[in-house]
Structure 1
Amino acid sequence: MKDFFEENDDESDYINNEIVNDLLKEEFGLCFQCNRPNTGENWCKVCNSEKFRQDFDKWTSGNENIDKFIQEAQLNANNNFELLEWIPYNRLRNIKLPAQGEFVYYAIWLDGWIDHLDYEKQEWRRIFNKLEQAYNIANDPNIRNPLQSNENYGQPVALKNLSDSSDINYDFLNEYKEWWSNDSYLIPLLGITQDPDKSNYMIVTPW
């Protein structure tokens, strides 16, 4: 009797997986590289997670808990809204300090966020815009890391300072993990950076 139920459970799981795959194939098509159903628009979870895994040794936040947090998001992302990146502070420009009583900084992320994987070149294609108006505030004394004349592309982002987070732990990240999981389509959590002067970590979202 036990074997009967186990066999039926296995068959049920197989059928459910086939149904999900058919729905994904119909909505997003097949992956150019592995021919499996994409899990999002121009997004194959299998191929992209492997690419992320190969790049794990190319970056670190300097904090094991944050590295783990970001890596888990990258391996489990079904689309580009669900992934996270470590964003080096030196890739941010025109960081405008918030007015009194505000907690969010404005900045430009030179790299922009990931859109999809170019399978032929094995490179991430990113979303960014040509910067035109951004040069107007580069000389503002209230900004940090002003945009340079040879830096032509980027994306506006918001930086939320995490107070007293220099020794951040995994439990501390759970609140943001829950927020990111529930609202990633409404307010995508792009990644995490660190203010080198204050050592606090900062959450990065679209502006």
Structure 2
Amino acid sequence: MSFNNSQNIINNLLNEIKAYSFKLNEYTMCGISQNPDTNEYVIVFQKNCNCKERGDVGTDKKFEWCRPCQISDLKQNFSSWTSGNNKIDNFMEEMQLKIESHNDIIVEWIPYNQFSIIEEIRNGDFARVYLAKWKNGLLEYKEGKYKRNPSKEVTLKCLNNSQNVIDNLLNKVKSYSIKINEGNIAKIYGISQNPVTKDYVIVLPTDCNCKKCGEIYTNILVKWCKPCQINNLKQDFVNWTSGNEAIDNFIQKMQLKIERYNDMVVKWIPYNQFNIIQEIR
């Protein structure tokens, strides 16, 4: 990278240099030089630091990914798709332009005919949840370019009567993340719409939603669902008793206070479960 007439703008040169790193695997600058014929100063980088399209330093050297180029491509592609609703289109465009890394999810408007329903997971009052296959599949950045991962299994969360409450739909979408590396936050692939019911559909990975109730896991990493656990504990109340109503109620309340997958579930334990080893005191 050279600076025209840079002998007169040393400060600009030095400010430019401050933006780069001297650490390996980043946008590593090797040094500074000067063309003796033009007197232009030259910033010297490692090989493959620069975007092949723009010539400027790329955003991710390791994966040869350039955010400005990707943002430009996304903007140019805005005219090739529409949800049919300006508010949803604008919202999704904003989500796409939030990408900062090669492995961030590019949230898409996905035509409903892209899905093949495998099975219904849940049919609730507010939503129906399905396991499905997405024919074209997710856009993933591999080997220096975006490629589709066809026949990808996804979860479809169909929001009942959502065609009349767009703001509610978008607020739900905001609770999801496009960051692959944010382990315990549910990810989102896109939005669709059932052409028959007109209900909007949130397209999600299969590992974010509880297989039993269809809601997002309370802890995605360990696939633990608090509502289901609470329900299981309540159903189990009839299977044990201390013989004392006050103690039973106390233990039940203790059990229903669980907040995390590794919280202790306090139980009534029959005494015949114990083998005495020794008296401590």
TM-score, L = length of structure 2: 0.49
Q: 1:23 to 1:15 in 2, by over 3 A?
A: farther
Q: Is the 8 A contact 2:51 2:66 kept in 1?
A: yes
Q: Is the 8 A contact 1:188 1:205 kept in 2?
A: yes
Amino acid at match of 1:25: Y
Q: Is the 8 A contact 1:31 1:44 kept in 2?
A: yes
Amino acid at match of 1:106: L
Runs of 5+ consecutive residues of structure 1 not aligned to the other structure: 1-9, 129-153
Q: Structure 1 residue 24: deviation in Å? A: 4.7
- Pairwise mapping of residues 155-174 of structure 1 onto structure 2 (< 5 A)? 155-170=152-167, 172-174=169-171
The residue aligned with 2:211 is: none
2-side partners of 1:76 and 1:125: how far apart? Answer: 20
The residue aligned with 1:38 is: 59
1-side partners of 2:175 and 2:122: how far apart? Answer: 28
Count of residue correspondences: 169
The residue aligned with 1:205 is: 204
The residue aligned with 2:90 is: 68
Q: Residue 177 of structure 1: which of 174, 177, 182 is its match? A: 174
Q: What secondary structure, in the 3-state scheme, does the structure 2 residue paired with 1:166 have? A: helix
Q: Is the 8 A contact 1:82 1:184 kept in 2?
A: no
Q: What secondary structure, in the 3-state scheme, does the structure 1 residue paired with 2:176 have? A: helix
Q: 1:113 and 2:138 equivalent?
A: yes
Task: Give the structure with higher Rg (CA).
Answer: 2
Root mean square deviation of aligned Cα: 3.7
Q: Is the 8 A contact 2:105 2:180 kept in 1?
A: no
Q: 1:89 to 1:126 in 2, by over 3 A?
A: same
Q: Structure 1 residue 30: deviation in Å? A: 4.3
Amino acid at match of 1:111: N
TM-score, L = length of structure 1: 0.64
2-side partners of 1:55 and 1:200: how far apart? Answer: 25
Q: 1:87 and 2:110 equivalent?
A: yes
More helix by share: 1
Q: Structure 1 residue 57: deviation in Å? A: 1.0
User: % of aligned pairs identical?
Assistant: 30
